[in-house]
Amino acid sequence: MSTDFQHGREALGARMGELRVEAGLDGKSLAELLGWQRSKVSRLQTGRQTATDEDVEAWAGAVGVPEQAGELKARLRGLESQQRHWRRQLRSPRGPFGTRNDRPPHRGDRTRHQRHRTHTMTVIILIAAPEGLRGHLTRWMVEASAGVFVGNPSRRIRDHLWELLATRIGDGQAILVEPAANEQGWAVRTAGRDRWQPIDFDGLILSARPQRQLNQNSHPTR
């Protein structure tokens, strides 16, 4: 579902970008017309942020085609339907992939609080990492398996370790799963070549595959 949703969001952003180009506006000019940060225009066009009804109405008006707001809203309704479906699956006892979640039922605030308290583990995974990086991690975490480190470092230590990994990972890959104050209770950071891109969608962490991998999968070798 995460891939389908992201494709839909990217398609909406691409259509908004087409309308901007047809109007002869660049991103900076459009942002000035709308009174937005330029980064917001970029995030909407690239599918890194979900538009609202107000966003698409303002966009269509600014590029001179207010009648296109209906089409953009229709695309947005499709995304919202996917979001609701995904959220229902996440809350289902069988989980989003049809396998039963072995989680205790909610039994009041105390049970929910205890459940969130258990989500304190930090996991770092290194793939094809340069020599020397493991030594930095073992100062704060335990290497449970080759390239898999677990522990409970503070946020300051996690940020320090991630800055080190992100700058030295080279052609390898680094993945950090850490506690977060969102609906899932965790967040993901990734670095390196061919990395999957985590996307925060209203508190849900979804993953977007690298464009190069998508292109390879869509044109299999014969």
pLDDT of residue 202: 62
pLDDT of residue 78: 81
- Cα 150 from Cα 175, distance rounded (Å): 12
- Cα 24 from Cα 140, distance rounded (Å): 53
Q: Is 106 contained in some domain?
A: no
Identify whether the C-beta of residue 212 lies closer than 8 Å to the C-beta of residue 194: yes
- On whether both 122 and 206 belong to a single domain, the answer is yes
Q: Is 104 contained in some domain?
A: no
- Cα 206 from Cα 184, distance rounded (Å): 11
How remote is the C-alpha of 20 from its chain's centroid?
25
> In terms of residues, how long is the chain?
222
Q: Is 7 contained in some domain?
A: yes
Q: Greatest CA separation found in the chain?
A: 60
- Residue of 67, 64, 56, 57 whose CA lies nearest to 29: 64
- On whether both 127 and 207 belong to a single domain, the answer is yes
The secondary element (H helix, E strand) that includes residue 164 is: helix 155-168
- Cα 52 from Cα 58, distance rounded (Å): 10
Read off the CATH number of the domain in which 73 is found: 1.10.260.40
Give pLDDT tens digits along the chain (222 positions). 446 677 788 889 899 999 999 999 999 999 999 999 999 999 999 888 888 899 999 999 999 999 999 989 888 888 777 666 666 665 655 544 444 444 444 545 444 444 444 456 899 999 998 888 888 888 888 988 889 999 998 889 999 999 999 999 988 999 999 988 777 788 889 998 877 777 766 666 676 776 554 455 555 544
- On whether both 133 and 58 belong to a single domain, the answer is no
Identify whether the C-beta of residue 178 lies closer than 8 Å to the C-beta of residue 151: no
pLDDT of residue 134: 84
Cα separation of the two ends of the chain: 28
- On whether both 190 and 153 belong to a single domain, the answer is yes
- On whether both 134 and 210 belong to a single domain, the answer is yes
pLDDT of residue 101: 47
pLDDT of residue 79: 76
State the residue range of the domain holding 54.
Answer: 2-91
pLDDT of residue 30: 94
What total number of domains does the chain contain?
2
pLDDT of residue 57: 94
- On whether both 69 and 130 belong to a single domain, the answer is no
- On whether both 87 and 150 belong to a single domain, the answer is no
pLDDT of residue 214: 47
